[in-house]
Amino acid sequence: MGTKIKNMNRLKVTLSGITLANPIIPASGTYGFGDEFAELYDINCLGGISFKGTTREARYGNPLPRIAECGNYGMINAVGLQNPGVEHVIAHELPRLKSHYNGCIVANVSGFSVQDYVETCALLDKEPIDILEVNISCPNVHNGGMAFGTSPEAAAEVTAAVKAVTTKPVYMKLSPNVTDIVAIAKACEAAGADGLCLINTVFGMRIDIRRRRPVIANRYGGYSGSGIFPLALRMVNQVACATSLPIIGCGGVSSAEDVIEMMMAGATAVEIGAANLTNPMVAKEIIDRLPALMEELKIEKLTDIIGIVNHE
């Protein structure tokens, strides 16, 4: 028992004063509200859960088909933020999640205007969630459809507006579909963000060569999976070197080794996304594997390696 507790303590990390038993967080959109996974294993082993992206109003999402497989390297999706809306989430999904999970709950929020973000975050601020993860990869309906996360000014505007209506830590989820992600990150930091989450999916496309048309009805979608891991790692490291904010790293993570790399690049916690869809046990398997890997790499505790490559 003593060895087990020691191993558990070695895995602990802290995000904005919130202690996580370990750095592993299933990413929004790949874990729903935890119900299906709770049937497979005790999800209380997780450091946190980022639940399904939530908007002010219910959304059906994009037309079908929405998914395109990309061999062993990942998938493209254009689900379109299908969700039951924040009031339904508060009334039904959140209480159910709390009934079988007692760790860190991350509420992923999306919007199509600054007011959308403000209203949704203000409602969630009153609920038993720990962190607001604000997804600024959504199209700004007042700016020609450009995503909030592609402009430092727009990213800062959303950050400041959300911070004004909430007492929860606000982590801005950044889009990789930009020329300079560091500029976006620094704008969010200057506007008061408590932390950052990166990266979101990369724009991608597949074509059905027999039907001679795009596989996805939406034509383009978000590419995720192991193929984007080096890109995500590079961006996490760039942002870690340029800001002082805690980072939740994500993008193509599918193994304990990937988690260690992400943390060495500068991430404090790590989200597991597309890998959950191909192996629903992957988050638990990574957590179980970490202590042995740490022994192999002579890592006393995970907090010792956060951003370690930046101190060379």
Residue with tokens 């000014």: 153
Choosing from 104, 138, 188, 197, which is the catalytic residue? Answer: 138
Omega into 305 within 30° of 0, i.e. cis? no
Give the C-alpha distances (Å, rounded to integers) separating 80 from 41, 114, 280.
29, 18, 22
- Tell me the torsion sign for CA atoms 263, 267, 271, 275: negative
Measured CA to CA, the distance from residue 63 to residue 271 in angstroms comes to: 27
Is residue 2 helix, strand or coil? helix
Is residue 45 annotated as part of the catalytic site, yes or no?
no
Sole residue written with tokens 């509420």: 107
Burial degree of 145 (CB within 10 A; 0-12, 13-18, 19+): exposed
Based on the number of CB atoms within 10 Å of its own CB, is 39 exposed (0-12), middle (13-18) or buried (19 or more)? exposed
Q: How far is CA 258 from the centre of its chain?
A: 15
Residues noted as catalytic: 138
